[in-house]
C-alpha cells in the first residue's frame, strides 16, 4: 500500500512507534526512524534505539535511515524532516508518535513537568508537522497521523499535562486538515490502547489500577499499526479531520465536540434564571467525571 512512499515516524525506537516503522516498511515505504532515545520521563538521549529499528528494517529487506534529533525544538524538528529529504528526496507521511510521561496529580504537578510533556507531545507534533508542511504543500499531497489519547478525549487521573497535550493535538490535527485540504493534504488522529514502555509507567497500586494494567497488557502495540499504514496510503485520500481509536481488534471512530442541547430566553439570562431554569434543563446532558476505563469498561476483544 505504500510502495514508493517515504514515511517519517517519530518516537520509533520502541513500542508503538517501532511497530509503525516496521509496518510502514513492510508495506513498501522508505522509513525515517526518529527517536531521541530518552527514558519514559524524557531523560537522557541515545542514538541506539533509532539505529536498532532502522537496522531491523534493513535486515528484513526494507529501506530505512535513523535520526535521533528531538521533536521538542524547532531547529531540530526541521533537521528530522530534512533527513527524509536528504536520504530519499521526498516525504509523503508524518507519524507524530514521540512522547513522554510525567504523571502527577494536579495539585502536585510542577511547571517543569507540565512544560516537558507539552513540549514533546503538543509542540513536538506542531514542529514536525509544520516543518513538513511546505513540502506537502508544494507536492500537493501528504498525510499526517497524530497520536492522541483517551486521557484527553475522555479523562484520566494524574495526567493533566498529558491530557491537555493530547487534546491539543486533536485541535491541531483538525486545523491542519482544514488549512491543508486544498493542497490534498490530510490529517487524522489515532488514540491507541496498547501495552508499551510508556503505559508501563502508570501506577498500579490499587486493585482497580492493577486490573486496568492487566487488561492493557493483553493489547499488543502491533494492533495499532495497520490503521496507521492505511491512513498513510492513497486509499485514505478522502479521510481527513477524523479521530480514531484502536483497542486490540476494535477500531472506533470517536465523536467530536458538537452542541448537545440549547436553552433560550427571549429577555436574556440572569444568573438566577440560569440557576433555576437553564441548568435544570441542561443537567440531564451533563457528562459524568468518567475516566477512560469507565467508558471502555469491557475486556479487550
State the pLDDT at residue 212. 63
Contact assessment for residue 261 and residue 282, using Cβ atoms and an 8 Å cutoff: yes
Contact assessment for residue 33 and residue 67, using Cβ atoms and an 8 Å cutoff: yes
pLDDT band at 140 (very low <50, low <70, confident <90, very high): very high
Q: Is residue 278 part of a domain?
A: no
Q: What is the mean pLDDT of residues 123-151?
A: 98
Lowest mean pLDDT among 17-31, 65-79, 287-301: 287-301
d(C-alpha 14, C-alpha 199), whole Å: 12
State the pLDDT at residue 221. 86
Q: Is residue 220 part of a domain?
A: yes
Is pLDDT at 41 greater than 70 in this prediction? yes
Q: Is residue 271 part of a domain?
A: no
Among the options 127, 144, 162, 230, which is catalytic? Answer: 162
* Model confidence, pTM: 0.92
Q: Count structural domains, the chain.
A: 1
State the pLDDT at residue 278. 98
Q: Is residue 32 part of a domain?
A: yes
- Domain residue limits at 111: 6-256
Q: What is the mean pLDDT of the chain?
A: 94
- Active site annotation includes 162: yes
pLDDT band at 207 (very low <50, low <70, confident <90, very high): confident
d(C-alpha 184, C-alpha 153), whole Å: 27
Q: What is the mean pLDDT of residues 274-293?
A: 96
| Grid cell digits, residue 300 | 479487550
Lowest mean pLDDT among 33-42, 49-58, 168-177: 33-42
Contact assessment for residue 95 and residue 73, using Cβ atoms and an 8 Å cutoff: no
Q: Is residue 65 part of a domain?
A: yes
Looking from the CA of 158 toward its CB, the CA atoms found within 13 Å total 9
Q: CATH number of the domain at 204, please.
A: 3.40.50.720
Chain centroid offset of residue 80 CA: 18
Q: What percent of the chain has pLDDT over 90?
A: 84
Q: Is residue 264 part of a domain?
A: no
Q: Is residue 280 part of a domain?
A: no
Q: Is residue 294 part of a domain?
A: no
Is pLDDT at 128 greater than 90 in this prediction? yes
Torsion of CA 19, 178, 77, 222, to 10 degrees: -10
Among residues 142, 127, 125, the alpha carbon closest in space to that of 179 is found at 142
What is the 8-class DSSP label of residue 238? Answer: T
Amino acid at each position: 500500500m505504500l510502495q514508493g512512499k517515504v514515511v517519517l515516524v517519530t518516537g520509533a525506537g520502541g513500542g508503538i512507534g517501532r511497530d509503525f516503522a516496521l509496518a510502514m516498511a513492510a508495506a513498501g515505504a522508505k522509513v525515517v526512524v526518529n527517536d531521541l532515545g530518552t527514558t519514559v520521563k524524557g531523560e537522557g538521549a541515545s542514538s541506539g534505539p533509532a539505529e536498532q529499528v532502522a537496522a531491523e528494517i534493513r535486515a528484513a529487506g526494507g529501506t530505512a535511515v535513523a535520526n535521533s534529533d528531538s521533536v521538542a525544538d524547532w531547529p531540530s524538528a526541521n533537521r528530522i524532516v530534512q533527513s527524509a529529504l536528504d536520504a530519499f528526496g521526498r516525504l509523503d507521511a508524518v507519524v507524530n508518535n514521540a512522547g513522554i510521561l510525567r504523571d502527577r496529580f494536579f495539585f502536585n504537578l510542577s511547571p517543569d513537568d507540565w512544560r516537558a510533556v507539552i513540549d514533546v507531545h503538543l509542540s513536538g507534533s506542531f514542529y514536525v508537522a509544520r516543518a513538513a508542511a511546505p513540502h506537502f504543500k508544494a507536492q500537493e499531497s501528504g498525510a499526517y497521523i497524530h497520536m492522541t489519547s483517551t486521557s484527553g478525549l475522555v479523562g484520566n487521573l494524574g495526567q493533566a499535562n498529558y491530557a491537555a497535550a493530547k487534546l491539543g493535538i486533536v485541535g491541531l490535527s483538525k486545523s491542519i486538515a482544514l488549512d491543508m485540504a486544498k493542497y490534498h493534504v490530510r490529517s487524522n488522529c489515532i488514540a491507541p490502547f496498547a501495552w508499551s514502555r510508556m503505559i508501563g509507567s502508570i501506577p498500579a497500586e490499587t486493585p482497580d489500577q492493577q486490573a486496568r494494567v492487566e487488561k492493557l497488557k493483553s493489547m499488543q502495540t502491533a494492533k495499532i499499526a495497520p490503521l496507521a499504514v492505511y491512513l498513510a496510503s492513497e486509499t485514505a485520500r478522502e479521510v481527513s479531520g477524523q479521530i480514531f481509536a484502536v483497542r486490540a481488534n476494535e477500531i472506533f471512530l470517536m465523536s467530536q465536540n458538537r452542541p448537545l442541547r440549547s436553552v433560550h430566553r427571549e429577555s436574556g439570562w440572569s444568573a438566577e434564571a440560569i440557576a433555576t431554569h437553564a441548568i435544570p434543563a441542561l443537567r440531564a446532558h451533563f457528562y459524568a467525571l468518567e475516566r477512560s476505563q469507565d467508558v471502555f469498561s469491557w475486556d479487550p476483544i
